[in-house]
Amino acid sequence: MSLHILVTGGAGYIGSLLVPTLLADGHQVTVIDNFLWKQNSLASCCADPGFDIVNGDVRLEETIRPLIAKADVIIPLAALVGAPLCHKDPFAATTTNKDAIALMLRLMGKTQRILMPVTNSGYGVGEPGKYCTEETPLRPISRYGIDKVAAERMILDHGNAISFRLATVFGMAPRMRLDLLVNDFVYRAVTDRCVVLFEGHFKRNFIHIRDVVRAFQHGLAHFERLNGQPYNVGLSDANLSKLELCQRIARVVPGFVYLEAAVGEDADKRDYIVSNEKIEATGFLPAHSLDAGIVELIKGYRMIRNSVYGNV
């Protein structure tokens, strides 16, 4: 069934792969994005008659109201993502990550559907050796996590919604992000051949960006069965510490050196392991491994150099 889907922030990291996939599946897709990063990640979609795009701000009611009115499904990707960026501009973070969701819900009808990505960073610091499930109390420790947990509560209370609690995402995309942990460490391994770890024992879960896209497809295809619930989305064999991640990268990048700092702290205090059994029980299984993603990133970094001020 063809749906009219509104994707906010659709020109970003996840949207740059999700939007072309939704179009290929036969849906009509409208994207609103403020193009903060001056990206043209959806250029290849412009020839598709089912695609439309608005350059605008999701926090403005006069901009978002007519777009919501036409949508069967809303996928709110627009966000300031990650603890460091939200700490840098806390007002923009909260107004985008939480207040814009409240506005969206106020303008929505009860029959319209929501598929929303949040973050499993809401688990904060887990108990050693104990998996975080969807029943585990949420204890976010950053502004990003706090606002995302609040947004998830709002959409689930509103109804007709699915929440995907995403593990740390990795992999190549048209709108690339180098700040995500796997993407960052592989970039450092390829370009610098070394990385210094702060609190290298901290653990988290990981998921390939193309499996994130597949999770949204799964949610659309099985909405009635998944409706009203949060789901962890990650690789069940990739609950890894930063040190263990470096060991995996070193298998593929000869000469990669990783050192644990004796002093210093990680600004992102997340430390937990996650169970993904709930979504796996619905029939969803990731198709892209961490090791394959590392190889993919190595190839991608032959094209990308984060050196705006470099001479070579």
134 token code pair: 């969807």
Q: What is the CATH number of the domain that holds 259?
A: 3.90.25.10
Q: Using CA atoms in the order 110, 116, 119, 122, what is the torsion angle rounded to 10 degrees?
A: 0
Q: Do 99 and 141 reside in the same domain of the chain?
A: yes
Q: Do 223 and 280 reside in the same domain of the chain?
A: no
**Helix/strand/coil for 240:** strand
Q: What is the CATH number of the domain that holds 100?
A: 3.40.50.720
Q: Do 225 and 242 reside in the same domain of the chain?
A: no
Q: Do 117 and 192 reside in the same domain of the chain?
A: no
Q: Do 35 and 138 reside in the same domain of the chain?
A: yes
pLDDT digits (tens, 9 = 90+) for 210-253: 999 999 999 999 999 999 999 999 999 999 999 999 999 999 99
**Helix/strand/coil for 261:** coil
pLDDT at residue 262 greater than cutoff 80:
no
Work out whether the CA dihedral 232, 238, 244, 245 comes out positive or negative: negative
124 token code pair: 């904060």
**Helix/strand/coil for 169:** strand
Q: Is residue 310 part of a domain?
A: no
For residue 307, what pLDDT is reported? 59
Q: Is residue 62 part of a domain?
A: yes
- Count of domains for the chain: 2
Q: Do 229 and 119 reside in the same domain of the chain?
A: yes
Range of the domain at 193: 181-203+237-300
Q: Do 23 and 95 reside in the same domain of the chain?
A: yes
Q: Do 242 and 229 reside in the same domain of the chain?
A: no
Looking at 142-151, 289-298, 301-310, which range is the least confident one?
301-310
Q: Do 13 and 130 reside in the same domain of the chain?
A: yes
Q: Is residue 146 part of a domain?
A: yes
Buried b (16+ CB within 10 A) or exposed e, 268-301: bebbbbbbbebbeeeebebebebeebbebbbebb
pLDDT above 90 coverage of the chain, percent? 80
pLDDT digits (tens, 9 = 90+) for 28-63: 999 999 998 899 999 999 999 999 999 999 999 999
